[in-house]
């Protein structure tokens, strides 16, 4: 699915989070969105996923204009997106398996199918043996793997990763970077980072400062 932003601005009260951003991301794009804290990286990811609507401008998913969609249609279309959060965002009261199954349960997928697909992605990220554990029993790297499994279990076309290496040591960072590259094969991947990483060599580098993309490149 092609993604597009045309003259997109987002304001929260008097704070301008995005300022006249234009961006085209053809299906299968792989890009690092990098820049200082408070520069607009997370807001841009949320706008791409329809979690934040622009104050001005146009957001396009394929041929659909996001602001023209009904709330119900927008929610249905958001099934095309998987989000890897900066924090693991796992529910401590649930097992790893149930955390990963959750997006499917919310979409009404039958229990047996949800469990089968959750086992499939947990095996893909090397975490099948921990399916019955609680998040509190996992290391930081294992929590990241669980978060990635949850992000891809619904088979999204677009994977958005918000500072997915935060709090990780260099060895674990490299492992998670390789995993992101693996699971994003054939998908659009946009990773928001403070700085580019050698371990995540994506072909596009988009620097964002003060809500504006300064130097997009292909």
Whether 213 and 41 have beta carbons less than 8 Å apart is answered as: no
- pLDDT at position 215, please? 59
Q: Give pLDDT tens digits for 197-212.
A: 999 999 999 999 999 9
The fold of the 3-213 domain, in CATH, is Rossmann fold (3.40.50)
Spell out the domain ranges in the chain: 3-213
Label residue 214 by pLDDT band (50, 70, 90).
confident
Q: Give pLDDT tens digits for 147-163.
A: 999 999 999 999 999 99
Label residue 217 by pLDDT band (50, 70, 90).
very low
Residue 103 pLDDT greater than 80, yes or no:
yes
Residue 200 neighbours by CB under 8 Å, 6+ apart: 32, 177, 180, 181, 191, 193
55, two tokens: 């104050």
Whether 12 and 63 have beta carbons less than 8 Å apart is answered as: no
Q: For residue 24, what is the enclosing H or E element? A: strand 15-25
Q: Write down the H helix ranges in the chain.
A: 41-48, 71-77, 96-106, 111-124, 140-152, 170-183
Q: What is the pTM of this model?
A: 0.90
Q: Which residues pair with 30 in a beta bridge?
A: 189
């Amino acid at each position: 699915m092609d993604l597009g932003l045309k003259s997109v601005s987002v304001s929260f009260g008097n704070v301008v989070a995005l300022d006249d951003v234009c961006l085209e991301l053809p299906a299968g794009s792989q890009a690092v969105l990098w820049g200082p804290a408070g520069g607009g990286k997370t807001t841009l990811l949320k706008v791409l996923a329809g979690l934040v609507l622009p104050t001005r401008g146009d957001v396009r998913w394929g041929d659909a204009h996001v602001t023209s969609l009904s709330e119900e249609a927008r929610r249905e279309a958001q099934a095309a997106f998987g989000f890897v959060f900066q924090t693991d965002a796992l529910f401590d009261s649930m097992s790893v398996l149930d955390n990963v199954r959750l997006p499917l349960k919310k979409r009404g997928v039958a229990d047996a199918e949800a469990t089968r697909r959750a086992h499939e992605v947990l095996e893909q990220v090397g975490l099948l043996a921990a399916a019955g554990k609680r998040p509190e029993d996992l290391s930081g790297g294992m929590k990241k793997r669980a978060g990635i499994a949850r992000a891809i279990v619904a088979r999204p076309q677009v994977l958005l990763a918000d500072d997915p290496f935060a709090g990780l040591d260099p060895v674990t960072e490299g492992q998670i970077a390789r995993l992101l590259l693996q699971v994003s094969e054939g998908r659009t991947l946009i990773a928001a980072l403070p700085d580019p990483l050698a371990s995540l060599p994506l072909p596009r580098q988009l620097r964002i400062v003060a809500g504006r993309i300064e130097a997009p490149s292909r």
